[in-house]
Chain A
């Protein structure tokens, strides 16, 4: 004897009765004092399958989920913008090319040659003066190159 051929138990008979009642009159079945959750659930499923239709709102929700809106152009634009921003940031922090420094003036070089000799203290004063003049040119050039012209 198979499972299907067994006579129904009392509990199964009760479930069947509740199900039938729920299908005939759901409002009354909801007020039934006995626990009818299984029967009600089954009844709703049967009713829904019988109707086999969806409200417009539900249909749209199902369609939205099945065919999501095409958001790739927005995403692509956002990614492009982020990449642009990253490129700007990289350009801002990377070292730039060297500034064009002024060539050393002849008097400075002559002063350096004179100072690079033993015991020539007077030459140091001349070197200091010429270095100061060249330094002014140097910082003007660097200021122009780095945007803070002085």
Chain B
């Protein structure tokens, strides 16, 4: 067999092996980062928790992760970063994280609703009441719609 074909097979095999493992690794990394951030936050080490989450959020997700899942994971991380910034008394930073999360797209889900809530909080802390009201309103509309769905399903969720 020609060496070129051997190279094709080796490359395809390596790609398949790496490609299959990368998404699981990224998901595992996300879950691990949140677990570590939980532990740090419990000890009051909010800055370190935020640093870990920020590092994760800035890492490039593997291409094999479905866009919806990528958005969910990253928006969850950004919402948590915004929350941590608010708890550290830094609304400007919280606003930046909330904006970064919302820039990934908005959906009819808890991730968008959480980011709108935290952005509203940041706007309120910065004295921008009108913008805060808009974000609170959007968050409530979303959460109430999702709540109505959940209750229609029996509320056992």
Hey, which bits of chain A sit against chain B, CB under 8 A?
A: 78, 81-82, 85-86, 88-89, 91-99, 101-106, 108-110, 112-113, 115-119, 124, 127-128, 131-132, 134-135, 138-139, 142-143, 145-148, 150
The answer, yes or no, to whether B98 is at the interface (CB within 8 Å) is no
CA distance A88 to B15 in the complex (A): 9
Say whether B73 faces chain A, with CB atoms less than 8 Å apart.
yes
- Given B11, B15, B140, B147, which contacts A116 in the complex, CB threshold below 8 Å? B140
Q: How far is the CA of A94 from the CA of B63 in the complex (A)?
A: 7
Contact of A85 with B12 at beta-carbon distance under 8 Å, contacts A135-B34, A142-B73 already known: yes
**B60: chain A residues within 8 A (beta carbon):** none
Interface magnitude class on chain B: 35 or more
Neighbouring A residues of B13 by C-beta, 8 Å: 85, 88
A27 to chain B, nearest CB (A): 48
Contacts of A94 in B (CB 8 A): 63-64
Asked if residues B117 and A138 are in contact (CB atoms below 8 Å), the reply is: no
Partner of A92, one of B20, B66, B76, B124: B20
With a CB–CB cut-off of 8 A, which chain A residues contact B9? 81-82, 85
Distance in angstroms between the alpha carbons of A142 and B61 in the assembled complex:
14
Residue among B65, B110, B140 facing the most chain A CB atoms (10 A cut-off) = B110
Given contacts A92-B16, A138-B76, 7 further A-B contacts (CB under 8 A): A93-B19, A98-B69, A109-B144, A112-B117, A127-B83, A131-B114, A143-B24
| Cα distance, A133 to B50, chains bound together (Å) | 19
